[in-house]
Structure 1
Amino acid sequence: MTFDMVFPHGCYVVGEVEQVKDFDASTNGRFVQARDKQTGELVWQVAVMDADPTLKPAQKTVAVKILAPVQPAPPAPMAGLPFTPVEFDGISVTPYVNQAGRLAYSIRVREMRAPRTVGGRAAAQAKDAA
């Protein structure tokens, strides 16, 4: 999937990049970071706010899991903005049924970066489509 398919209005970092806990391997007092089952990469998580104006407030903040060997750094803040815009590459979205019995989605990415300019985004999409 492309970034524009998942976040057509863009998104903003609203939390810190954190380690994801492997609940099966961690024991009382011993934290073990989760690894992706397919790639073996460490799993990190960051909260982002979806800029879609049609979403209800409870739907705006989502967790994005990042697969990376070291802790990813969010883009530098932009002057005059209360939140830092961000884009992701290598996106996969997995649907699942949550504890409340509702359809939910797990978003996993390979890279977190600063947004491209409009022209840069269009050029990258054209390159990806070729």
Structure 2
Amino acid sequence: MAIAKRFRIGHDEVFGHGAYLVSPVTPVSDFERSTKESKVQQLDKDTGMPLWSVDVLDADPEAAKKSRTVSVKLSGKVQPVPPAPQGGMPFTLVVFDGLSALPYIDDNGNFARIAWSFKADAMRAPGKGDQPSTASSGSGSSAAA
């Protein structure tokens, strides 16, 4: 049996208590191709489209300190647009469609630990069905982060 390095996982399996945006959507830099004078945006290895990143707070009260805030990558020709904040909340609740995870070893610090790289096809407001609220037209879920 072959198991892919990156695998599909449901939003609720990762963010069972909710995911709240805590940063704007930003381009992912390609550090191998960028120079001081020219910043190059990383491309998705599967779709060839530019990669974008957004930080979210995992609302699980039992989440470890290092795991409370995670980055989720999205691919698309244009910058994805997050859903509008609702109900006067300071953070925007978001759902990721087509979420995938890639485990890796984080050996920064005194002890090595398993960490996760997340990528999604789209993001949307909760309860909006399958209507993603991104300006993205492409996706993919198997590229390494």
Between 1 and 2, higher relative CO (CA 8 Å, sep ≥ 6) is seen in 2
TM-score (norm 2): 0.76
Q: Which residue of 2 aligns with 1:15?
A: 23
- Which of 105, 109, 122 lines up with 2:120 in the alignment? 109
1:19 positional shift:
0.3
Deviation by residue 1:46-100 (Cα, 9 ceiling, x = unmatched):
0100011111333211111111121001110112312110001011100011242
User: Structure 2: 5+ residue runs without aligned partners?
Assistant: 1-8, 131-145
Report the Cα distance in structure 2 between the residues aligned to 1:65 and 1:116, rounded to whole angstroms.
21
Q: Which residue of 2 aligns with 1:31?
A: 39
SS of aligned partner of 2:66:
helix
1:15 positional shift:
0.5
Structure in which a larger fraction of residues adopt helix: 1
Letter in 2 for 1:28: K
* Fraction of identical pairs, as percent: 47
Matches within 5 A, 1:22-101: 22-100=30-108, 101=112
Task: List 4+ stretches of structure 1 deviating above 4 A.
Answer: none
Report the Cα distance in structure 1 between the residues aligned to 2:123 and 2:59, rounded to whole angstroms.
17
Report the Cα distance in structure 1 between the residues aligned to 2:88 and 2:45, rounded to whole angstroms.
40
RMSD: 1.6
Report the Cα distance in structure 2 between the residues aligned to 1:54 and 1:63, rounded to whole angstroms.
18
Report the Cα distance in structure 2 between the residues aligned to 1:96 and 1:106, rounded to whole angstroms.
8
User: Structure 1: 5+ residue runs without aligned partners?
Assistant: 122-130
Report the Cα distance in structure 1 between the residues aligned to 2:117 and 2:64, rounded to whole angstroms.
18
Deviation by residue 1:93-123 (Cα, 9 ceiling, x = unmatched):
0001124232110000010111117xx59xx
TM-score (norm 1): 0.85
